Amino acid sequence: MKRHCRPQSENTDAYRRKSAAPLFGVGWICLVRAFKLLCAVCPYVKEALFVDSVSVNKFRDSLKSFVEQVVTRHVPLKVTRRGGEDFVVVSADDWERDQETLYILQNNDLMRQIAASMATHTEGKGYKPAAGELDEITGI
């Protein structure tokens, strides 16, 4: 299997700053912080940046094992075709999670709230629940 990532031109900091900041309206630093938070919460985020790739013939021959791999490892699989467009196989749970993440990242109000929350947390300000409230929130 081959490993793919974005083309070199898209991996530069200048490209990211130009393309990401206007899209979300909250700035590049906020997106970096959000990505770091995602990586801390979900270890598969970093791994998902590199997608395994197989030919359509190999995929057809071992369909069951590839589907099982996609579902259990939570890593998408790129299937390449000689004469047509490539396609990606992803588990339903991962697709739904990605759709939710995209919704949040495209919602400027939510991104501003996340940025403000991260700032107050970093500064040690903001609401601090009492012990009883924490127990209720965590279900202990």
Percent of the chain with pLDDT over 70: 63
Residue 36: CATH number of its domain: 3.40.1620.10
Global pTM reads: 0.51
Among the ranges given (5-14, 96-105, 109-118), the one the predictor scored with the smallest mean pLDDT: 5-14
Residue 65's domain comprises 2-138
Q: What are phi and psi of 29, to 5 degrees?
A: -60, -40
Tally of domains within the chain: 1
Q: Are strands 87-89 and 51-55 parallel, antiparallel or unpaired?
A: unpaired
pLDDT attached to residue 47: 53
Over residues 63-74, the pLDDT tens digits come to 999 999 999 999
- Per-residue pLDDT, averaged over 110-123, amounts to 89
Place of tokens 């990532």: 5
pLDDT tens track for 26-57:
455 556 666 666 666 665 555 555 568 999 99
